[in-house]
Structure 1
């Protein structure tokens, strides 16, 4: 492995999940698209990949390579979840979760009922937004799997 390709892989292992999370959080907080349960599942491996990639910057040699490869694996896991979620949205297979809500169990029973009545119900099997027939879960799958492949190839480059 060349030191330069490992540094590039490390940078991408940090930037790819950060960019995908920025898009997800932007679509949520700016675009008003509430995430379903499986959307949240796709985010957790990206959070972990960012942490692992950040730690990798403080290491050298073989340890850094292992951490960058672990970050690539975590990015790929998010992509795999995205493939599953997109398949549920497209009706290729059934999902394994119920619909989710943004309601938090706080306050009086009347407050909770008001939250329930005003909360958007987000179904995991219906895409809220698509572009060229690809949902956000589909885009996460594509970008995560490509990004993870590039990171891994650069980290393994001799």
Structure 2
């Protein structure tokens, strides 16, 4: 009986614990996604629009939370606490997929996007420095696709990645409810 308890404790902290695996995978894939976004921006000079930048917030939230959940799983924290963390992670990623879907819809012209990055520019502000301002500002429109691969824009890929990560988090939630 004592060896069985020791074995279970060892499994809870091992790298094969499904909660640990789910959280670690979400952290690694989310970090790779952000690194990819920075690569497109900084190396390929594909500048993000305001909606693109908003879609990054979920990753900035998900990476540290997933790392904390993975650390908690490796330390044998409460399964219900870890499952709750994974549920929050999954909800944030589903919300990000919805935002990415909205952005992709704006790009395809299915609906109007936010006025600050789509449609005509009508507010010129102070006209005294208008020409100076126009020379310094590069407006990145949310309704114009700068890059596509296999018919999908970066917003479309964000939908797919966010949904996959949400499913991974859901898998971790389900596994957290099962005895270790």
TM-score, structure 2 normalization:
0.74
Are the aligned partners of 2:93 and 2:162 in contact in 1 as well (CA < 8 Å)?
A: yes
Which residue number in structure 2 is paired with residue 10 of structure 1? 23
Q: CA–CA distance in 2 between the matches of 1:77 and 1:23?
A: 20
Which residue number in structure 2 is paired with residue 84 of structure 1? 102
Superposed CA deviations along residues 78-112 of structure 1, whole A, max 9, x for unmatched, are 21111110000001111124129xxxxxxxx97x9
CA shift, 1:113, in A, is 5.8
Deviates more, 1:119-128 or 1:61-70: 61-70
Which residue number in structure 2 is paired with residue 38 of structure 1? 51
Unmatched segments (≥5 aa) in structure 2: 1-10, 119-127
- The answer to whether 1:150 aligns with 2:168 is yes
**Distance change in 2, residues 1:154/1:56 (3 Å):** closer
Unmatched segments (≥5 aa) in structure 1: 101-108
Q: CA–CA distance in 1 between the matches of 2:68 and 2:133?
A: 40
**Distance change in 2, residues 1:97/1:42 (3 Å):** farther
Which residue number in structure 2 is paired with residue 49 of structure 1? 62
Which residue number in structure 2 is paired with residue 135 of structure 1? 153
TM-score, structure 1 normalization:
0.83
**Distance change in 2, residues 1:54/1:86 (3 Å):** same
Point out 4+ residue stretches in structure 1 off by more than 2 angstroms.
Answer: 112-116
Paired positions, count: 148
Q: CA–CA distance in 1 between the matches of 2:70 and 2:18?
A: 13
- The answer to whether 1:29 aligns with 2:47 is no
